[in-house]
Amino acid sequence: MTHTHPTLTYLDTNVYSRPFDDQTQSDIREEANAFLKIIAEVQSKRLILLGSDILGFEVDNILNDEKTSQSKGLFGDGGKAHR
């Protein structure tokens, strides 16, 4: 039996806020859907989402307050690995 380990994955700040961007543009909608698929992989334990202090700082400083709050919900615990 082969045991596979989850893949460590790092995403840039803009990816966390993509689901909250204007979805009328097809490229933005496709990127948002891809991000949501990545989140599903994290939830199923096939991926581990990595963060950093810089990523946490950038998410905290998104100019749109609503986007900041929503992105923080996806970003989680301030830059630690998400399992």
pLDDT one-digit tens code per residue, 48-78? 988 888 887 887 777 777 777 777 766 664 4
Under 8 Å CB-to-CB from 57, ≥6 apart: which residues? none
pTM of this prediction? Answer: 0.72
Residue ranges in the chain assigned as alpha helix (H)? 13-17, 26-43, 53-60, 65-75
Tokens of 81: 């690995």
Distance from C-alpha of 82 to C-alpha of 54, rounded to nearest angstrom: 16
